[in-house]
Structure 1
């Protein structure tokens, strides 16, 4: 089994985000399976490998570079074109393409479907994000009626819905990093998440959306958008409510009704167990075994399947149109 080098711009506070934390979790899950390390490429950090130095090594055949930072992937792939690269795909719609020699590991079925269309000849795998055991319902007293995090929240949520709710119930708005989000979720009745507007501005998709699932795992009733990867597991009317539903008044009525008649939410064990450490580790081991076998093969054999590039798609459309026209002319003759 080759070593994994997880490529990150850095690990300090300036790079803190859901993608960084998810990648660090994946690193921890991979370490019992094979040797796995962080390699930074924008800033040097103490006791951490730096990409410029790593690339000076005489051979890296026993290494797989794991790229994940969406906007940096094209440059990293170009720089590592003579090495083994695995793309850990979180969000989609970045616009770049990947050759068939780069396997793809997607965090959601939504993202997997995107790459299944965009890179149909690449090996593609599904590795959902981990929900750690701390995100469970501990049956605590819930003294927060409504919880919302300002990051990724829509203007509607922050400037219309929240002010309306603050007149009717206990609302907690957080705008900083929280050390123990599971504790906060266990104190909360209703969690609000509305990221569609944010991702539309970014021009990419919601990769997975950890917080709504973590909130449900802790027993919160969740009002959420269902864009991108959220659609993998959110099921309005059954395990959540669709937020921004028609009007502020309608949303407010449903939320207050949830608070007044609160009962802890619960995902089926089969759903949650799919995201727990044991299941993710077993799935990752299978994926890495296949990826290693693929790189063994690709070192000796070239690809012979034509890539589905925009030019090839245009040619295929032209050929189809020409064939239809030819058939129509024959029928007239």
Structure 2
């Protein structure tokens, strides 16, 4: 197996976000299968390789890095991928796609690994001749229901002292400015606007978790790549009211394992949330769904995907590309051909009469 170099702009708080944590988690899982390490390219960091050093002729002549033919570069930072892909066009590179909608295209020589089926579908249409794979993000085993309520306690909340939990980041203006003030008149609502180290502990204290990110991602202009927090909350026994945009649609099933938030009116939302809070009604993710996102399953998928990638990069230098890319010009040509074919058919019919 080739060594994997995970390309990150940096790993400090300056770049802290869900995508960074997810990428570092994936790196640790990859290490169980083959050698892997971080390579930074925006911020030089002690203890990590620097991309320009790896690619410079001076570095290679001094033999400070392994032969780059035996390396696969893993790109993931959406805003930087187009430039990185151009920079690495002579090397083995893959795109680990979280969000979608950045607007760039990739050549079919760059395989794409997606974290959600939503993103898989996006690239399946945008890059139909690339190798495509699905590798979900990991949900840590520490996210579980500490209370493990038995059948005799199914109508009680156990030791959960927070009625409703909300994380301010990514929350819609409707959620923060309308729904939460209305709910605070009837129950205890805790809004978190800081980083929480023990998030699993917080989810196990909450009865209901609210998540509404559709507005946030619409403003950003890209998609919700995965949406880990609602899954983590569900795994901890919270009842979840959530938007179902983009990657969230992979696992959320309104009325069966969660509730759709922002449902037509504020009054209707308040009524539904209070009904769940005041009743013994429980929805949850099935163990089978959760198992798909646990480390054991993801590692097993990694073994298959990495073997295929190694086979592809072994063959690529000797294979010629015979499949035309479905770019703008090709689409325009095919549409024109279809239009002319229709006009020709109509003309033939008229000439017969």
State the TM bucket, normalised to the shorter chain: over 0.9
Aligned length: 333
Deviates more, 1:252-261 or 1:14-23: 252-261
In the alignment, which residue of structure 1 is the partner of 2:122?
Answer: 114
Query: What is the distance in 1 between the residues matched to 2:177 and 2:100?
Result: 28
- Whether the 8 Å contact between 1:67 and 1:73 is mirrored in structure 2 is yes
Tell me how far 1:332 sits from its aligned partner.
Answer: 1.6
In the alignment, which residue of structure 2 is the partner of 1:73?
Answer: 81
Structure 1 position 328 matched with structure 2 position 346: yes
- Whether the 8 Å contact between 1:189 and 1:262 is mirrored in structure 2 is no
- Whether the 8 Å contact between 1:90 and 1:208 is mirrored in structure 2 is yes
Deviates more, 1:121-130 or 1:248-257: 248-257
Query: What is the distance in 1 between the residues matched to 2:26 and 2:265?
Result: 40
Secondary structure in 2 matching 1:114: helix
Structure 1 position 282 matched with structure 2 position 294: no
Cα displacement string for residues 117-169 of structure 1 (whole angstroms, at most 9, x for unaligned residues): 00000000000111110010011610000000111100000000011111111
TM alignment of 1:160-309, pairs within 5 A = 160-262=178-280, 265-309=283-327
Query: What is the distance in 1 between the residues matched to 2:38 and 2:119?
Result: 24
Match of 1:91 among 84, 99, 112: 99
Query: What is the distance in 2 between the residues matched to 1:226 and 1:215?
Result: 15
Tell me how far 1:260 sits from its aligned partner.
Answer: 1.1
Cα displacement string for residues 38-92 of structure 1 (whole angstroms, at most 9, x for unaligned residues): 0010001111111111113434100000000001000110111101111000001
Structure 1 position 128 matched with structure 2 position 146: no
Higher-Rg structure is 2
Secondary structure in 1 matching 2:177: helix
- Unpaired runs of 5+ residues, structure 2, are 61-66, 148-157
Secondary structure in 1 matching 2:69: coil
In the alignment, which residue of structure 1 is the partner of 2:55?
Answer: 55
Secondary structure in 2 matching 1:299: helix
- Whether the 8 Å contact between 2:256 and 2:283 is mirrored in structure 1 is no
Tell me how far 1:247 sits from its aligned partner.
Answer: 1.0
Query: What is the distance in 2 between the residues matched to 1:265 and 1:281?
Result: 28
In the alignment, which residue of structure 1 is the partner of 2:146?
Answer: 138
In the alignment, which residue of structure 2 is the partner of 1:157?
Answer: 175
Query: What is the distance in 2 between the residues matched to 1:159 and 1:13?
Result: 29
Query: What is the distance in 1 between the residues matched to 2:7 and 2:195?
Result: 23
Tell me how far 1:302 sits from its aligned partner.
Answer: 2.2
- Unpaired runs of 5+ residues, structure 1, are none
**TM-score, length basis structure 1:** 0.98
- Whether the 8 Å contact between 2:258 and 2:284 is mirrored in structure 1 is no
In the alignment, which residue of structure 1 is the partner of 2:8?
Answer: 8
Query: What is the distance in 1 between the residues matched to 2:264 and 2:319?
Result: 56
Structure 1 position 27 matched with structure 2 position 27: yes
In the alignment, which residue of structure 2 is the partner of 1:43?
Answer: 43
Deviates more, 1:5-14 or 1:57-66: 57-66
Query: What is the distance in 2 between the residues matched to 1:160 and 1:88?
Result: 37
- Whether the 8 Å contact between 1:186 and 1:219 is mirrored in structure 2 is yes
**TM-score, length basis structure 2:** 0.93
